[in-house]
Amino acid sequence: MKIAILSRNRNLYSTKRLVEAAEQRGHEVVVLDHMKCVLVIEQGRPHIYYNGKELNDINAVIPRIGASATFYGSAVVRQFEMMKIFTAVESQALVRSRDKLRSLQILARAGIGMPKSAFANEPKDIESVIASIGGAPCVVKLLEGTQGIGVILAENDKAAKSVIEAFLKLDANMLVQEFIKESKGADIRVFVVDGQIVGAMKRQAKEGEFRSNLHRGGTASLIQLTSDERATAIKSAKKLGLGIAGVDLLQSDRGPLVMEVNSSPGLEGIEGATGIDIAGKIIEYVERNEFNAPGQ
């Protein structure tokens, strides 16, 4: 099988591990920068050119689309789907998961626990927004933020109002969420592949920091999930239609709460913390589904 990995940087840990895992299982692998793909939309014959050559021998695609490239990257994935090629993450699911507000609405409708969240577009609504999620301390989160960037903990109502006002003046879309004190600066990343949990780790924020992202200096360790945590992670990935997902959970007094569901979760932290060949699990998923592309 010839597998295409859509990645802007072939030297990233996740990309290298996927290439390694696929080659170990006897597959041919190409790494394609999705931003350099040329999409030709033609009646009855959608096709893609890369470096001047038509891609006509790809059997399956593993998208590794960064947040800043969602628009074009999802169009490339959609084009492969139109060519009846299996994609490990479907274009619709990719777009759905990247819209944080929409994804939270979908999860809430499905009865999945999450921190109480509020969204507003008018400065005059600030005080009611803060009150609606139980007041400060609260978390103000940019909808376009990644890796903990654009996430601010407001310790009191005055600070929360100032942060929200500043973001609104910049025309930035944001969520205001309740602060889950009992999580104590930790969260859980659950890695779901093809509806099954293949690994989980607990991420602990460094001292003086409430964001547990590894990019922000957090540390990772192996964790044994509860049955509720397992069920919540699997259901979240399913409701968003993601074949590969990193589900971020907070442990709270009322059970697991979903913070976010990531459609291109990194492999380095989870493989390091668990010792599990997550890349290999993804390749096995592709092998099982090669002939399940849309329209086939």
What element of type H or E holds 237?
A: helix 227-240
Q: What average pLDDT does the segment 166-186 reach?
A: 86
Per-residue pLDDT at 103 exceeds 70: yes
Q: Which domain holds residue 279?
A: 182-283
The CATH number of the domain holding residue 46 is 3.40.50.20
Answer yes or no: do 187 and 278 share one domain: yes
Any idea what the Cα angle at residue 25 is, between residues 24 and 30, rounded to 5°?
A: 75
pLDDT in tens, 222-231: 999 999 999 9
**Judging by beta carbons within 10 Å of its beta carbon (0-12, 13-18, 19+), is residue 71 exposed, middle or buried?**
exposed
The CATH number of the domain holding residue 144 is 3.30.1490.20
Residue 103 counted as domain residue: no
- Residue found by looking up tokens 């929409």 in the block: 102
102-111, 211-220, 264-273: least confidently modelled range: 211-220
Answer yes or no: do 148 and 202 share one domain: no
- The pLDDT, as a whole number, for residue 78 is 97
Residues 47 and 40: their CA atoms lie apart, in Å, by 5
Q: What average pLDDT does the segment 8-26 reach?
A: 97
- The pLDDT, as a whole number, for residue 217 is 54
Closest CA to 59 of 3, 122, 121: 3
- Residue found by looking up tokens 């978390």 in the block: 139
pLDDT bin (cut points 50, 70, 90) of residue 52 is: very high
Residue 237 counted as domain residue: yes
Helix, strand, coil fractions of the chain, as percent rounded to 5: 40, 25, 35
Residue 107 counted as domain residue: no
Answer yes or no: do 193 and 268 share one domain: yes
Q: What average pLDDT does the segment 139-151 reach?
A: 73
- The pLDDT, as a whole number, for residue 54 is 96
- The pLDDT, as a whole number, for residue 293 is 58
Residue 232 counted as domain residue: yes
pLDDT bin (cut points 50, 70, 90) of residue 146 is: low
Name the token pair of 196: 């099954």
Q: What average pLDDT does the segment 125-130 reach?
A: 86
Answer yes or no: do 166 and 229 share one domain: no
| Radius of gyration, alpha carbons of the chain | 20
Answer yes or no: do 22 and 46 share one domain: yes
Across the chain, mean pLDDT equals 90
User: What is the percent of the chain where pLDDT is above 70?
Assistant: 91
If one compares 9 and 126, the residue with the highest pLDDT of the two is 9
Per-residue pLDDT at 211 exceeds 70: no
89 within 8 A of 246, measured Cβ to Cβ: no
- Residue found by looking up tokens 């699911």 in the block: 93
Residue 89 counted as domain residue: yes
Answer yes or no: do 28 and 57 share one domain: yes
pTM check: above 0.85: yes
SS3 state of residue 188: strand
Total structural domains within the chain: 3
Name the token pair of 144: 């376009």
Give the chain's end-to-end CA distance (angstroms, integer): 17
Residue 206 counted as domain residue: yes
- The pLDDT, as a whole number, for residue 214 is 53
Residue 289 counted as domain residue: no
Residue 59 counted as domain residue: yes
pLDDT bin (cut points 50, 70, 90) of residue 255 is: very high
What element of type H or E holds 273?
A: helix 268-274
